[in-house]
A and B are shown apart, each in its own frame.
Chain A
């Protein structure tokens, strides 16, 4: 039995689906961020396995993943900072309760 590209894509796909589900359903902003990480991660996996299977002589996929991780780290840090700030003001982290800026 070979470990084909396809076999790696399946878990990644499911991970992505979970991310989507979580992103849409969760109300807690932190939980939304977690879902976001899931999606990012699944994309990273895709990059890597495509790179490895289809273009083994190059490193584009790996570098992309590397950058994605860097960006994800920065983004998460910032987002969490914002969330905590919002929490300080509104005492809430639920996305449907923070409506002060609406309309």
Chain B
């Protein structure tokens, strides 16, 4: 299968978007869904074909055992100057190929799942079904366009596009105020981050004179190359701004852009609210794909970041802190989707941290054996996380679909009613907690190894977060499926397992979550295209399993059966617990800044200033002209007698002046 099919992989969802968006209204609801699913199936098959060809086939991508990026197409889209040209291309390299698989897989599962989820209990599709599928296709297109980008500007373009799709899908139930609010928030927060991204690109392109990855990060062999990155950085000529090199600024700004999409602290606030969207959307966008765009971005520019220590340290600190912060919040949330959302934030922070631990000295790094483990681990975790987090979200969706609530106190004891879901959820939890042989274990283990390589402190910190992960995931699991008996009010509407369209994706994803850990990532996805020789470090692996088990054990102790222990602990640490439950008041802070500071203290005065000072000035001009005219009008009274008087006086004055002049 030729790699150029990647173009089709990207273009097909776009076509589906236009088709469903324009013609969907005229078609039946179900039929649009089926068409969408079938198209996505074709797309997935093609994407798998491309990925398999890339990884295992022979062709230009493998030269001397080094895996290379292949640019399939790269037409110019917008030329700024003769040299600075934005291109819209398709590039296939290890991470792009891996992302193609991830995106299409999850997207296909979500497409299929939505057939059931977006219907009521009688199987009738909801209003706006066509719109929903069109938006899903739009999102898939945008995300695919993002990962195959050949230049950083294309990534920016598709950053905006995924932001839009996310906006549209979060606001799918646009009549509800919460959704209405959430999508606005999501878009604006990510837009703010994108502003920094844009500034970063501006600075980067100004100094390096290019957007293209092949001039920024890919060496002559079209694989990640520190030499290329070094030469790109040196074109900046050591320019500095406020004490830091411009490159550090540029890369930090670009990271902020990625952090916005990936919900890193403090730009994470939109993600929990984004759970107002339909749950399959949360699974696709806000768990598996879009939120890792930031990680992808950093990974894409990895050679640059490696050489710019300052930017990398920012990522490291932000990532490590966010991982802990989000995990801490996830421990107390009662809304299961929000808990999962914070879990997602925490896991993405894992990936970020993993990328950031890769550099450990300031000079050009000698490429030693095993270097770039963090990069590989990050990508590996991205891959496995996408699968099991999608699984978890889809399970959560099934539960919500069954009990019509997001709150876990409406659930409890669902194990009996929904055994398949319960089982799948359990697999997801085991995977995320890092229990072998499930997928999460393998990737998280690599991350921890990389963290310990960077330093013992970072390793311990991440291990602690891993422990918390296991704890909060099992807390959720127990609170949903066990804790106490489920109260059934109405036998007809008792929760039950879902139709096959929803079950099938769960099972497929559960299977993937079981086996994904065995994908030989170290041979396939490395930053420089070389094979990475890794071996399981059993001390780290053993300890990580141990901390996971501790977390699970603690959760079992506290939440398996109804008992007063959680309540007591919450009471014991009331302040902390409340702070965590209220997400450490970040939302309130933002609310304060946006409403009180920006709106009330800036926008309102400016609007007032405009109406009253500037406009007032022009009105004053008009008014004074007006009153002057009225003043003059008194002279133009129309009274002939007044005219005569004035005329006479004037004439007399002239005569008098003449006489005086003549006399003198």
Contacts and interface: CB of A to CB of B under 8 A. Distances in A.
Interface of A: 20, 23-25, 32, 95-96, 99, 101-103
Interface in B616-664: 633, 637-641, 644-645, 648
17 contacts: A20-B648, A23-B641, A23-B644, A24-B641, A24-B644, A24-B645, A25-B641, A32-B641, A95-B639, A95-B640, A95-B641, A96-B639, A99-B638, A101-B638, A102-B637, A102-B638, A103-B633
A99 B640 CA distance: 12
Interface centre among A20, A24, A99, A101 (most CB of B within 10 A): A24
Q: Which 9 A-B pairs have the closest CB atoms?
A: A24-B641, A102-B638, A24-B645, A23-B644, A24-B644, A20-B648, A23-B641, A95-B639, A96-B639
B357 to A, nearest CB: 85
Contacts of B641: 23-25, 32, 95
Contacts of A25: 641
A23 to B, nearest CB: 6
A34 to B, nearest CB: 14
Contacts of B645: 24
Given A20-B648, A23-B644, A103-B633, 6 more contacts: A25-B641, A32-B641, A95-B639, A95-B640, A95-B641, A99-B638
A94 B645 CA distance: 18
Contacts, number: 19
A25 B640 CA distance: 11
Contacts of A23: 641, 644
Nearest to B633: A103
A43 to B, nearest CB: 14
B652 to A, nearest CB: 10
Contacts of B640: 32, 95
B627 to A, nearest CB: 16
Interface in B44-84: none
Contacts of B639: 95-96
A36 B550 CA distance: 120
A101 B644 CA distance: 19
A13 to B, nearest CB: 13
A23 B644 CA distance: 8
Contacts of B648: 20
A103 B630 CA distance: 11
Interface centre among B640, B641, B648 (most CB of A within 10 A): B641
Nearest to A102: B638
Nearest to A36: B644
A24 B639 CA distance: 10
Interface in B523-553: none
A101 B640 CA distance: 13
Contacts of B644: 20, 23-24
A20 B649 CA distance: 11
A99 B641 CA distance: 14
B659 to A, nearest CB: 16
A19 to B, nearest CB: 10
A58 B5 CA distance: 118
A27 to B, nearest CB: 9
Contacts of A20: 644, 648
A23 B316 CA distance: 99
Contacts of B633: 103
A103 B634 CA distance: 11
Contacts of B638: 99, 101-102
